[in-house]
Amino acid sequence: MQKRPKKWLAGLKRIAKKHGTPVFIIDHKKIRENHKEFTESLPRVQAYYAVKANSNPEIVKTLYKTGASFDVASFPEFMIVHDNIKNLPQKKRQDFIWDKIIYANTIKRIETLQALDQYKPLVTYDNIEELKKIKAHCPHAGLVLRIRVPNTGSMVELSSKFGAHPGEAVDLIAEAFNAGLVVEGLSFHVGSQCNNFENYMQALQLSASILKEAWLRGYKIKIVDIGGGFPVKYHSRVKPFKKLAGMLNTEIERLFPKDMEILAEPGRFMVANAAVLVTKIIGKAVRDGKTCYYLDDGVYHTFSGIVFDHCQYHLKAFEDGEKKVSAVFGPTCDAFDTISVAEELPDLKIGDLLYAENIGAYSTASSTYFNGFPPAKIIHINK
């Protein structure tokens, strides 16, 4: 386990003392480093940040300035991007795909489609009924057909809910063109936090086969969206991103022509390791021989990823000491608000601080006001 320098820990303490707890600290330098690593590792791929991972407007601004585009899944997310980049300096104009927003939720309300139409974004679909809605309410959008691909070995699978069967793909493309719409791309998603890189290889091969058939039938598709799922090293069992990038580069070069636009939807990769939570112990008890700590943050707030993202965030103490297995709970009156029943911590007292790293993705994005407890205060550093 990485031991943080005393200066870094002291900085967290100062922020907690100044702003109170719980406090969620976003490091924009780390976000820029993550974007740089992604784009340098995958030189043919344009990063469309998945806003759902963390929709904080300051993150959107930072990533826009680095050259990222955006993947949104709701109209409010679309407007977070639109409203926070419209007054920023324009990026140098490149091919049309690089500056667009993709609405990557395959199912959309009619009101959402009506509101989107004026912006002419890319929108995904995966069935005939959605195609009819787009034709009626958002005909100026560019379409991207999402296909179902293997999700085996991913922390969060998505193919049970989204994606057309590959055997139906070309017919759905034809239906769109016959309706007077334009299909610009093909997309897939191998599942979140994918540690089985063969998912990507199979998905790319499926995409290439579908595109070849579409081309033979006269449909010019020029975009491949390889989705997200890029793994973050939460623990030692996660395979390195560099290995995946090498495999992706090889397959992209082998399967697709040079003029094919390749985009991806990294979310977790950009923000997971760019935030730290500092929380305070507000209660302590011994239950059935086990020490239990009660914190001022929990699964209804920043630790929501334990429930929704199948992710465990390990807590660390600022002080050293002999560790023993303890239980950790959030502040609400619900027993469901359990952060961990087996956290290794030294003997601590009420008022002591704990911190959790790698908590930037799918955490504050799902915070509630359950029991009246507000979400953690958000602080930005290195902007």
Which residues are annotated as catalytic?
333
Taking a C-beta distance cutoff of 8 angstroms, is the pair 319, 333 a contact?
no
Taking a C-beta distance cutoff of 8 angstroms, is the pair 342, 323 a contact?
no
State in Å, rounded, how far the first CA of the chain is from the last one: 28
DSSP states of 125-141 as a string? Answer: E-SHHHHHHHHHH-TTS
DSSP state of 108: -
Instruction: Compute CA distances 96 → 79, 99, 156, 182, whole Å.
Output: 20, 6, 31, 15
Taking a C-beta distance cutoff of 8 angstroms, is the pair 133, 110 a contact?
yes
Distance (Å, whole) CA 41 – CA 38: 5
Query: Residue 74 has which token pair?
Result: 């709701």
- Bridge partners for 23 per DSSP: 278, 377
Taking a C-beta distance cutoff of 8 angstroms, is the pair 170, 208 a contact?
no
